[in-house]
Structure 1
Amino acid sequence: MKNIVITGSTRGIGFSMATEFLRAGCNVTLSGRGKVLAEATQRELSPFEGKYIYVPCNVQGKASL
């Protein structure tokens, strides 16, 4: 069983990739800017419950060092 991490995977190409990896039997880590995974996205992924996790990750802001 493969473990896949896809950044920006809550919509568009990233979401399509995540869905295909889930269909192939992989465990998938999804990430996006939202604090939680949108309900509509959760519904679409409901057949894969337990095969994915969501990690919020917003890298839009640049931190000064």
Structure 2
Amino acid sequence: MAQTPQQRAANERFAKSESAKRGKPVTAVKKSTAVQKSPISKGWIVVLAFVLCGGLIFELIRLFF
């Protein structure tokens, strides 16, 4: 049995709504080439390094002086 024009239009509308739900194809999505920033600032990395290594540094100073 062949499709009627109403069925064909309904199928086209349905296909269009389903493709909108799926999103864009991978080829249409542009990839970012920007350099990614670190989630932690340099200041916090210095603070973390001091907390981790500061005790050792103070112990070495205490032993030699």
Q: Give the TM-score, by structure 2 length.
A: 0.23
Structure (1 or 2) with the larger CA radius of gyration: 2
Instruction: Identify the structure with bigger relative contact order (alpha carbons < 8 Å, sequence gap 6+).
Output: 1
Higher helix share: 2
Q: Give the TM-score, by structure 1 length.
A: 0.23
